[in-house]
A = this chain, B = another copy of it.
Amino acid sequence: MEFALSEEQRLFADSLRNLLADRLPIEALRRHAETASGFDADLWDSLVELGLPGLLVPERFGGAGLGVLDAVVAAEVLGGVAAPAPFVGSIVMATLAFVHGATEALQNEWLPRIAAGEVRFGVAFAGLAGQTGTAAASLRDGRMSGRITGAIDAGAPTHLLVYLADGNAAVVAADEPGVSRHMHRSIDRTRPVVDLTFDNARAMVLDAANAPVATAQRVLDAGRVVVAADTLGAAQHMFDHALSFVKQRVQFGRVIGSFQSVKHQFADMVTVLEPCRAMVWYAAYAQDALPDEARLTALHAKAHLGDVGRDIARMATEAHGGMGFTDLLGLHYWFKRISFNRQMLGGPERCREEAAHLQGWDLNKASA
């Protein structure tokens, strides 16, 4: 029994962290915030060099053949630097959509291209994901029609992966006639939200054998765990930043970190934040190794990190005093990334509702 990251996973995290530290000084984030497309070509190229797109692609298709745990290790690093990169949707969910829900032929066609970083997927759910907004799409004889708001990683995709309410999925080329994308800069300037409209657009249907909903949920849950890990990384960054700030900021002739109320706020923060790391690891491990626990741990990880992330974001900002509220430190990029993550792929309220349903804890319509 060993509940810890392997040496390889730690080294992988370090190399990714070093790479991103060079590529993403705060100025780079500020520049990216102008377009806010969630995609930076140079950054993407260096992630491809590192082999990140192939992280979850089986080795026989040219990938690293690693698991969701490795994906959350990467996600924590990406969240820690607020990286504008299409990871959760394009690299994690799209890959798993093919791995778990496509024929060998389709896998042969697509997985190598994913691993090579030649294709990038925007991902949208018409239902199932538990997001607010419009989600109405239909598929008839290989043609997709309808409208879906709140697609992720769809700022600069080559293709779109669309899940229908019945769990069936299809891939549509981004430049296909009948496809229109409306990108919104989001509260989080490192990832946009995108509205998709399909007008009888040609679509390639994935074949999820006989269990489309279960397969869709498996992809969705992996995405939720990875988003939770992204929040963990962002929250840890804000915590660390705040901690070093209060150790040097002086008020009333004292380092403010010496005030008991400040100290106790940090004690409260670390007491809720630190166990989240193990929670995310466990949920990620469960996606690949513990099928019975996969759904419940994913739902709770997404929900719990959404809540903890919000508290840490607020308290860490507060610890910076006025500076934390200004644009000067750029701390708000992480604050907003956490806000974004909370709402995508189902907020805590909805995820716990699913967790309840999963355990048969449905509600009485009117208890009073």
Q: Which residues of A contact B (CB under 8 A)?
A: 130, 259-261, 264, 350, 353-354, 356-358, 362-368
A254 to chain B, nearest CB (A): 11
A312 to chain B, nearest CB (A): 19
A365: chain B residues within 8 A (beta carbon) = 362-365
- In the complex, which residue of chain B has the Cβ closest to the Cβ of A363? B363
A356: chain B residues within 8 A (beta carbon) = 368
14 A-B contacts, Cβ less than 8 Å apart? A130-B368, A260-B261, A261-B261, A261-B264, A353-B368, A357-B366, A357-B367, A357-B368, A358-B368, A362-B365, A362-B366, A363-B363, A363-B364, A363-B365
A156 to chain B, nearest CB (A): 33
- In the complex, which residue of chain B has the Cβ closest to the Cβ of A367? B353
A261 to B283, CA, bound (A): 36
Number of copies: 2
A366: chain B residues within 8 A (beta carbon) = 357, 362-363
Known contacts A363-B364, A364-B365; 17 additional CB pairs below 8 A are A130-B368, A259-B260, A261-B261, A350-B368, A353-B367, A353-B368, A354-B368, A356-B368, A357-B366, A357-B367, A357-B368, A358-B368, A362-B365, A363-B363, A363-B365, A363-B366, A365-B365
Interface-central residue, A130, A260, A357, A368, by most chain B CB under 10 Å: A368
A264 to B260, CA, bound (A): 10
A353: chain B residues within 8 A (beta carbon) = 367-368
A316 to chain B, nearest CB (A): 18
- In the complex, which residue of chain B has the Cβ closest to the Cβ of A346? B368
A311 to chain B, nearest CB (A): 16
A261: chain B residues within 8 A (beta carbon) = 260-261, 264
- In the complex, which residue of chain B has the Cβ closest to the Cβ of A130? B368
A368: chain B residues within 8 A (beta carbon) = 130, 350, 353-354, 356-358
A264: chain B residues within 8 A (beta carbon) = 261
A356 to B130, CA, bound (A): 23
- In the complex, which residue of chain B has the Cβ closest to the Cβ of A358? B368
A274 to chain B, nearest CB (A): 21
A354 to B366, CA, bound (A): 9
A132 to B362, CA, bound (A): 20
A362: chain B residues within 8 A (beta carbon) = 365-366
- In the complex, which residue of chain B has the Cβ closest to the Cβ of A351? B368
A354: chain B residues within 8 A (beta carbon) = 368
A367 to B354, CA, bound (A): 8
- In the complex, which residue of chain B has the Cβ closest to the Cβ of A259? B260
A356 to B362, CA, bound (A): 18
List the 7 shortest-distance A-B pairs measured between CB atoms, nearest first: A357-B368, A354-B368, A362-B366, A260-B260, A260-B261, A353-B368, A353-B367
- In the complex, which residue of chain B has the Cβ closest to the Cβ of A261? B260
A364 to B357, CA, bound (A): 12
A270 to chain B, nearest CB (A): 16
Interface-central residue, A363, A365, A366, by most chain B CB under 10 Å: A366
A239 to B118, CA, bound (A): 66
A180 to B363, CA, bound (A): 37
A357: chain B residues within 8 A (beta carbon) = 366-368
